[in-house]
Amino acid sequence: MYKYAAVLMYHHIGDPPPGVKLWALYVSRLNFSFQMWYLKTFGYNVVSLQKLFEDLEAGRELPPYTVALTFDDGFADFYQNALPVLKKYALPASVFMVTGQAGENADWEDIALTGTGRLMNEGEIREASSLSRISFYPHTATHKKLSKLTKEEAAAEVKKSLDAIESLTGSRPPVFAAPYGDYNSETLSALRECGIKYAVGTDNRAVVWGREPLLELPRVIVRRNNHIPGFIYKMFRIFKNGK
C-alpha cells in the first residue's frame, strides 16, 4: 500500500460577500482556527511545501500524516485572518500570489463568482514573508488561463510573477501554481525554461508517495462546508484511501 501526503488548498479565510456564488471557497475563521488546532494537536506532520517536494524528489520517506498548507491568489484575508492563527500554532504555509494585482481588488476572469476582494499589498507580503515559516510563490502576474496563451505568453506571465516575488522576498522560488489549475504541455515546458522545478495543481486528492510528477502535484480543496466533524473525517479519509 502506498503512503499518502496531503497538500491542503485554501483560497479565502473569512465570510463570503452577500450574493457570491462560489461561497464554498470562504473557510470561516472559526473553522480555520479549529483545523489548525486539530492538525497541531493530533500529531500531523505539517511541513513546508518546498520540503515536501524536496523529500519527494530525493525519495525520502516522511513520517505518517504529512500535510502541507497552501493558499491561492494572495488575498488580504490571508494576512488578516490566517496568518495570526498560523503564527499561534507555529505552522508553515505557502501563498501563491497574483503579483500584478498586489494591493488591488482582484480583477480577473470569473472573479465576480468569488467576490473582488483586495490582495495583500507589498508591505503585508514583506511582513508575512519575513517569518521563516511563510513562503510566497508565483501564481502568474494577472491570473490568466495559461492553456489559452502561447508558450511565450505563458512564460512571460510566469517570469513577471517570479521576478516580483524575488523582489519582495529576496529569493527566487522554484515552486508554482497555475491559476484555475489550468495548464498544458507547453505550459509545463515554459515552467521548466523559467527555472520552476515544482508545481501544484487542483486535482482534488492526496499525494501518492513516490508516484507523482513534480510539476503536477495534486491538492485537496478545503471548503466552507468542511465544518468541524467534516474536516476530521476528511483528514481520516485522505490518509486511509487517498481522497
Kindly report, residue by residue over 166-200, the tens digit of the pLDDT: 999 999 999 999 999 999 999 999 999 999 999 99
79 domain residue, yes or no: yes
195 domain residue, yes or no: no
Give 68's strand partners. 7
166 domain residue, yes or no: no
Domain count along the chain: 1
Residues with Cβ within 8 Å of residue 177, at least 6 apart in sequence: 70, 72, 96, 137, 138, 139, 199, 200, 201
Domain that holds residue 94: 4-137+201-241
152 domain residue, yes or no: no
65 domain residue, yes or no: yes
pLDDT over threshold 60, residue 1: no
121 domain residue, yes or no: yes
pLDDT for position 2? 58
Whether residue 199 contacts residue 181, with contact meaning beta carbons closer than 8 Å, is answered with no
pLDDT in tens, 77-117: 999 999 999 999 999 999 999 999 999 999 999 999 999 89
pLDDT for position 241? 86
Whether residue 183 contacts residue 203, with contact meaning beta carbons closer than 8 Å, is answered with no
The CATH number assigned to the domain holding 12 equals 3.20.20.370
161 domain residue, yes or no: no
28 domain residue, yes or no: yes
